[in-house]
Amino acid sequence: MSGDTPYSGNRRLADRRPETEWRNVLPTGAPGASQGTPYSFWVREGDATKLAVILAGGGACWTGENCALHGRPFYRPFAGLGDGPSDFGGIFDSENPENPLADYTLVYLPTANGDVFLGDSITTYDVPEGDDRPPAKIDILHKGYDNAVCALHWMFSAYPDPKTVAVIGWSAGAIASPVYTHIVAENYPAALIRHFADGGGAYRAGEKLVPLFASWGTANVLRRISGFQDIEIEALSLEDLYVRAAELHPEITFHQYNERHDAIQGLFLHLMGVASPDVGANMDEAHAYIRERVPNFRTYTSWGHDEGIIGGYYDAVPALNALDNRGRPHVLDRFYTRQVNGVRFLDWFAAALGGDSVENVACIDSEKQEHHWVRPGFPR
């Protein structure tokens, strides 16, 4: 691609957008990120009657080893001015004419407490000694629930009368998304509520979830949410959160996207103590568990190894000059190009967002890559 086009590969997507498009909001009363630093979230103004609240990915921690801040933590420990989504593709690309959320007001909640938005605890962990480090302790504010609720209360006040609200989570944010769909629905009783989770469908891990919930104080969270207070934490599965939310809201269909060989879910299953994680088999079992109990649950299971399809840019392209892709000429924005068994994900997602009934989609050959792409009609 020549360097003088409006969408040259030398310019990032964020460089083409007004700096004021996304604004950072510091909610009153938020307890803060994992180390007590301020928690803030992001808003992009659009149609005030159409909202999308997005629970971001960012890992998790529950032991001294994976909560320690040295090296490369397994979670995002802070939220701040550098954690906004202005450089993302997918649903965040308001200039793409195919984006079904282009005119929505987006409220983006970073994860910053290591507890997948299911935490209400301050937990002290023992950090083992390392090569040049003595044993130590670290305090983690697992206050993801309170941070998120403070952000939602701001949203409820700022946008009191929406007609449609989509609750979207990916990776860590996908796990708790049914709970937050319930909270949003309770506060917007006259609105049409949509749900979509991107990832998180393979954590069918039985008793291995118990220490995570104990570290995070998840029992404290559920006791505070109307309709979830009676759930027994010792036997809780993540699928039970879907079941309870779907039972409370039969008018809402809960949607979940996963990639069959999701390496992130495999990594976290391994950290939880699963010696040889079978992501695909876990996914099948989890989906079957939910479907046996509630009818308002739909899934799209794709080939691939990633999560975060709603954020776009992942799939590499062999021909470097083949595409004019919004300043990133060497990749496809998979939110717009992914398909499975001839069903384009974007069409499935847009139908679900619009309230249409969609069928379950699952890859037959999960090693075969399928793309749908035509040159976008962007300005030149």
Q: Give the phi and the psi of residue 185 in degrees, each rounded to 5.
A: -65, -35
Estimate the crossing angle of helix 238-248 against helix 177-187, to 10 degrees: 20
CA 113 vs. chain centroid, Å, equals 15
**Residue 247 backbone zone (phi > 0: left; psi -120 to 50: alpha; other: beta):** alpha
Q: What is the mean pLDDT of residues 267-275?
A: 95
Q: Is the confidence at residue 8, as pLDDT, over 90?
A: no
69-73, 108-112, 243-247: the lowest-pLDDT one = 69-73
The SS3 assignment for 326 reads coil
Q: What is the pTM of this model?
A: 0.91
Q: Amino acid identity of 18?
A: P
Tokens of 69: 């801040």
Q: Where do the domains of the chain lie, and which CATH numbers do they carry?
A: 32-258+290-301 (3.40.50)
The SS3 assignment for 356 reads coil
Q: Is the confidence at residue 131, as pLDDT, over 90?
A: no
pLDDT given at position 317: 57
Share of the chain above pLDDT 90, in %: 74
3-12, 211-220, 234-243, 292-301: the lowest-pLDDT one = 3-12
CB distance 127 to 138 below 8 Å: yes
The band of 6, judged by pLDDT with boundaries at 50, 70 and 90, is very low
Q: What is the mean pLDDT of residues 198-215?
A: 95
Q: Is the confidence at residue 343, as pLDDT, over 80?
A: yes
Q: What is the largest CA-CA distance in the chain?
A: 61
Tokens of 277: 């994680």
